[in-house]
Amino acid sequence: MKRHLLLAILALTVTVIACSPPSARDLVADVMAQRNNYEARLTSWIVRDTATPHLYLDVMVINNNEEAALKTLTVVVEQLDGEDNVLHSQRVAIDTAQLTAGIGQGVGVQVLPVIDGVEGVRLYIERSPDEESWPEFPEFNAVRPRI
């Protein structure tokens, strides 16, 4: 009798473990892996002098994930002076919900504010952002209740 009870408990434990939802660490690792399978390249930029001057960036974004897709991809945009010194750096979310896996698409991105003296722009994807900065990344919103 004890042996049957032990086997039943063991079977139930294995079933519960196998059916458990992914851990917060697993969810974050999945989002991070998806982020790292994107490419973002700045193709051109201009300063638009409107009522509120802003940078307008043309960015080629490629989703290299086989199946998964993020709704947004956060990139770093650095405004540079003539000697490539960073005048201003900020994170900007790009809407990537409509991107098809493996196909690049041009995306227009507006960046505020424009810093006086900007003569260049650099854009890149942070591959391993610090946990303290995750609130600035909308792509983590889907897993935020668990992290």
- pLDDT class of 9 with cuts at 50, 70, 90: low
DSSP code, position 116: T
Radius of gyration of the chain (CA): 22
Spacing of C-alpha 97 from chain mean position: 12
User: What is the tens place of the pLDDT at every residue in 42-95?
Assistant: 999 999 988 889 999 999 999 999 887 899 999 999 999 999 999 999 999 999
Residue 78 to residue 87: CA distance in whole angstroms: 7
Q: Which pTM was predicted? A: 0.81
Question: Are the C-beta atoms of 93 and 72 separated by less than 8 Å?
Answer: yes
Q: Which residue has the higher pLDDT, 145 or 64?
A: 64
Least confident of 13-17, 26-30, 87-91: 13-17
Instruction: Answer yes or no: is pLDDT of 10 > 80.
Output: no
